[in-house]
Amino acid sequence: MAAAKLNLYQKLLEIQKEVIGLGKDGTGNSYKYVTGTKVLSAIKPLMNKYGLLLKTEVLSIENTRQDYRVGVNAQNPEGRPKSEILSKLMMKFTWVDCETGEKDENLFGANGQNDWDKGCGSAYTYGERYFMLKYFHIATDEDDLDNPERKAQEEAEKNMKQTALDLVKASKMDEAAKNKWTAWINSNTPAAISSQMENLNKQIAAFQS
């Protein structure tokens, strides 16, 4: 018996099931965010797999000039003038099932502020990225327990600590040195342990000779 075909919403649900969380890989203005490249690299292959297209339309644009001063400090209290364009877009994202022709339309607003010729581009990119994150309820918080990248990081950190402990245990160091290293490893972070692995290996090698 042939497998039952999925309708549009069933296909979208399958994508939601497969993309649970994405770790933040970009930094700007002192905050972290998930880049559009990372979002697309996670979702686009699944769109191709299920034969879906995402049609993007800009329904309205409102541009406002923003004048302000930058570089203001004690030595330069006036700073220097800078002007940018704040672009407010109302967008429509339409999921299209290429197999059945089914559609799902969604309105989404986005803002972007940048140099004169980049305001709309910033808003467009922001809108596309956050529409997909919100539509599929993709977790981006680093402390989200369902974030697979966080779980992978925790596993790597656990392995780092265990590797160091195993090295100490299997070494020919005297008991005092072993106890000292074991206590230090158990009380420090994986990053600190990683930074001391070279010293640990040197001390282990010294006892080998």
pLDDT along the chain (209 residues), means of 10: 80 92 72 82 94 96 86 78 89 96 96 82 89 91 52 66 86 87 83 78 78
For residues 115 and 182, membership in a common domain is answered with no
**Residues 22 and 123 placed together within one structural domain of the fold:** yes
133, 134, 136, 142 alpha-carbon torsion, rounded to 10°: 60
> Which amino acid appears at position 138 of this protein?
I
Which pLDDT belongs to residue 144? Answer: 47
Which amino acid, 180?
Answer: K
Domain residues for the domain of 99 are 8-141
> What pLDDT shows up at residue 148?
54
Cβ pair 109, 130 in contact under 8 A? no
* Residue 2 domain-assigned (yes or no): no
pLDDT at 157: 66
State the first-to-last Cα distance of the chain, in angstroms, to the nearest integer: 69
Q: What is the pLDDT of residue 206?
A: 82
Residue 62 neighbours by CB under 8 Å, 6+ apart: 87, 88, 89
Q: Are residues 84 and 130 in the same domain?
A: yes
Gap between the Cα atoms of 186 and 184, Å rounded: 6
Residues 111, 88 share a domain: yes
